[in-house]
Amino acid sequence: MPATNRNVLLGLFIATADLGVSLGSVVMGPVADALSYPVMYTVCAGLGALMILFSYDKRNQFVN
């Protein structure tokens, strides 16, 4: 991977992490208030697993 792409991907990763932190509190705060913390953590774990599957599927599209 060329250094230019690596820098762009690193910037995208950092921006996505910042967005996740800021939106996570806005979205998951009301979920925790309305339901409970175990439900909020379950929702977060489910979303994380879904993103792993989505990433894996997208990666296979680019490899093949």
Question: Is 6 a residue whose pLDDT tops 80?
Answer: no
> For residue 8, which phi and psi values (nearest 5 degrees)?
-65, -45
User: Looking at residues 24-47, what average pLDDT do you find?
Assistant: 88
| Whether the model pTM is above 0.95 | no
> What's the pLDDT at 4?
64
> What's the pLDDT at 49?
92
Contact 40, 32 (CB under 8 A): yes
Inter-helix orientation angle 37-63/3-34, to 10°: 150
3-state secondary structure of 1: coil
